[in-house]
Amino acid sequence: MTAAADPFPQAAREALADRQLGDNLRAATATIRDKRARIVAEVPDWEELREAGRALKAEVMAHLDEYLVRFEESVQAAGGQVHWARDAAEANQRVLDVARVHGVTEVIKVKSLTTDEIGLNAALAAGGVKAVETDLAELILQLDGDWSSHILVPAIHRNRTEIRDIFRRTIADPSLSDEPRELAEAARLYLRDRFLTARMAVSGANFGVAETGTVCVVESEGNGRMCTTLPPVLVTILGIEKLVPTFADLEVFLQLLPRSATGERMNPYTSLWTGVTPGDGPQEFHVVLLDAGRTRVLADEVGRQALHCIRCSACLNVCPVYSRTGGHAYRSVYPGPIGAILTPQLQGIERAKTLPFASSLCGACYEVCPVKIDIPSVLLHLRDSATRAAGSRRERLAMRTLARVFAGRRRFRAAVRLARFAQRPFLKNGYVRRAPGPLSEWTQTRDLASIAPESFRDWWDRRS
């Protein structure tokens, strides 16, 4: 999936016009948001935990080269194989190579966000290998030919009636109801057979432990446990930013993540595996370490904190923009506030130049981020990059002119007087009801307060 040329404002406008989408999103984001707030409030040292999470991630980023080599050595010592992938194509090829060696034509998948980023399913299909998603939501999307709109709840834009219709069309018979239990059972029946017959699984990962080579997947449905234990061959795609230094450090993240993500004290399944254990689980294990733009992000002193993200999606659920537009408007695998800072950095600002502006800078994202990513500051930083690399000339001229106006009090006073004069044809009871130019976007839905008859400084001069 790539960020298309479609600018966010237009996509957002279309999403806002979709009432069903709006209802689905509001209900779902509000539910998770409230659950998160309750369950985080239980933790007396939450702020200290956040700081610990931030510090650990900062440490890993500062010495990523060393931690990566350490991780590679640990995985190899435990009997696993490590591949380094500079970009999506290399990573996809490594997975396809493993499938070919084993003559596999179908793989089962779990934790597919990173593989969505690199377009693995399409690459596998082109190589004659079918990928079957096993996360319930990912399965729904795959059956429907749709794509994810939320990091944690990829089918958040669908309600159960829509899901029933998708299942009726694809994997279930027409008698299927929209009862959650029946829907889950239909998916279970379809997937169980895949789990038991698959000879190879592909997973993403939440964490990789440099010290031990352990890989960790956190999930709710048990499909991750199936994928990482049943097939004889397992390939994990791990973004290089996902490392933590030691096994003990998982303690911090396994508290932060479930509470921030699903509003649970503990997630139902935490799968940890280290290399290969003879006679138990996969007998061949590969890790593909994925760069795909991450080292470039790392080089940016302000922007690099986006790599600290542990994919909890708390920022999506509290975001007033995301909760109205949904994820598809961002045209990115990573939507919402984190997507607005991650996607332009991973893909290049020219390819996602409207995303850093998809925020009112309300700061709700920063407040809930379990690793304290200062999303508003990174947004400001990227807005500057966006205007430099791909900004509108007219806007730059306007902003420069305004900066010159603000550079001197006489110019400022004169400009205010000019504006006061210029607004006269548009005034009605102290408001502008229909403004020309870019301000018409304002007056379509709001009255615009006018330049006052007497400015503060004119009043001050008159008074003294």
Partner 1 sequence: MRIALFVTCVGDAILPGVGKATVAVLERLGHQVDFPRDQTCCGQLHANSGYRSEALSLARRFVDVFEGFDAVVAPSSSCVGMVREVYPDLAREAGDESLERRVAEAGRRVFELSELLVDELGVTEVGASFPYRVTYHPTCHSLRVARIGDAPIRLLGAVDGLELIELPEARECCGFGGTFAVKNAAVSASMATDKCRAIVSTGAEACVAVDGSCLLQIGGRLSRLDAGVRAVHLAQVLAAT
The residues that touch partner 1, with contacts defined as CB under 8 A, are 8-9, 12-13, 16, 302, 320-321, 324-325, 356-364, 366-367, 377, 380-381, 383-388, 391, 395-396, 399-400, 402-403, 405-409, 412, 416, 419, 431, 438-439, 441-442, 444-452, 454-457, 459-460
Q: What share of the chain is helix, strand, coil (3-state, %, to 5)?
A: 55, 10, 30
Q: Are 100 and 236 in contact (CB under 8 A)?
A: no
Nearest approach, Cβ of 196 to partner 1 (angstroms)? 46
Instruction: Region of 205 please: left (phi>0), alpha (psi -120 to 50) or beta.
Output: beta
Question: Which residue type, as a one-letter code, is found at position 95?
Answer: V
Q: How large is the C-alpha radius of gyration of the chain?
A: 25
Is the Cβ of residue 30 or residue 122 nearer to partner 1 in the bound state? 30
Pull the structure tokens for residue 33.
């948001």
Is the Cβ of residue 313 or residue 385 nearer to partner 1 in the bound state? 385
Nearest approach, Cβ of 379 to partner 1 (angstroms)? 9
Nearest approach, Cβ of 414 to partner 1 (angstroms)? 12
Q: How many helices (H) and strands (E) does the chain have?
A: 22, 13
In which residue are the tokens 């990091």 written? 151
Nearest approach, Cβ of 406 to partner 1 (angstroms)? 4
Q: Are 74 and 215 in contact (CB under 8 A)?
A: no
Is the Cβ of residue 114 or residue 305 nearer to partner 1 in the bound state? 305
Is the Cβ of residue 202 or residue 329 nearer to partner 1 in the bound state? 329
Within the chain, what is the greatest distance between any pair of CA atoms?
90
H/E/C letters for each residue in 158-184?
CCHHHHHHHHHHHCCCCCCCCCHHHHH
Is the Cβ of residue 203 or residue 305 nearer to partner 1 in the bound state? 305
Nearest approach, Cβ of 330 to partner 1 (angstroms)? 12
Nearest approach, Cβ of 151 to partner 1 (angstroms)? 20
* Rounded Cα–Cα distance for residues 106 and 277 (Å): 24
Is the Cβ of residue 217 or residue 319 nearer to partner 1 in the bound state? 319
In which residue are the tokens 């009801």 written? 433
Is the Cβ of residue 286 or residue 353 nearer to partner 1 in the bound state? 353
Nearest approach, Cβ of 421 to partner 1 (angstroms)? 13
